[in-house]
Amino acid sequence: MTKEQELRLRMISYDGGDPARIQHFIKVYTFAVMIGEGEQLPEETMEILRAAALVHDIGIKVAEEKYGSSDGKLQEKEGPPVARQMLTEIGYPQEVVDRVCYLVGHHHTYLDMDGMDYQILVEADFLVNLFENASTRKVIRSVDTKIFRTAAGRRILHAMFALDGAED
């Protein structure tokens, strides 16, 4: 089994009993792959992006247990140590672990997105969250302008929410 196959199954076990959370990260992972491929990222960056997409919300569970809250900042604080342990146990190289943990610790921060892995993780998470949160078209259009940067991400966003040609 590859490291990534192992990571996918470990994350499903980690969130076992919570199918909504599992289906969330599987969707984010798939959109991240689609955008990363569309943007022709090198394989080293794709590996980081895929791992980050799988574990990006790993801090929610700890934040809920510790503070009874899944606030974004608490997730960013609690996620990286749990992600680090899982990725290291699986055998991911140190530099991959470091970058993935950085992304887990920043994925609710939309300033200074320093890299395509960061940008695409955020776009993929929005593609899923805008639907899961039943966001209004006004919110979706604002996210399009303020957050989305890649052509591949924007193409999916526009098609999925039928943004082109609509007046609202």
Write the burial class of residue 51 (CB in 10 Å: 0-12 exposed, 13-18 middle, 19+ buried): buried
Q: Does 57 bind Fe ion (CB under 5 A)?
A: yes
Q: Does 15 bind Fe ion (CB under 5 A)?
A: no
CA–CA distance, 103 with 99 (Å, rounded to integer): 6
Binding region for Fe ion (CB under 5 A) out of 35-43, 123-131, 147-155, 159-167: 123-131
Residue 99 DSSP label: H
Structure tokens at 147: 């957050």
Which residue, 16 or 93, has its beta carbon nearer to Fe ion? 16
What is the smallest separation between the CB atom of 56 and Fe ion, expressed in angstroms?
A: 5
**Phi and psi, residue 37, nearest 5°:** -65, -40
Q: Does 123 bind Fe ion (CB under 5 A)?
A: no
What is the smallest separation between the CB atom of 6 and Fe ion, expressed in angstroms?
A: 21
Q: Does 78 bind Fe ion (CB under 5 A)?
A: no
Binding region for Fe ion (CB under 5 A) out of 67-75, 118-126, 140-148, 149-157: 118-126
Residue 74 Ramachandran class (φ > 0 left, ψ -120 to 50 alpha, else beta): alpha
Q: Does 39 bind Fe ion (CB under 5 A)?
A: no
Residue 3 DSSP label: H
Total binding residues toward Fe ion, as defined by CB under 5 A: 2
Binding site for Fe ion (CB under 5 A): 57, 125
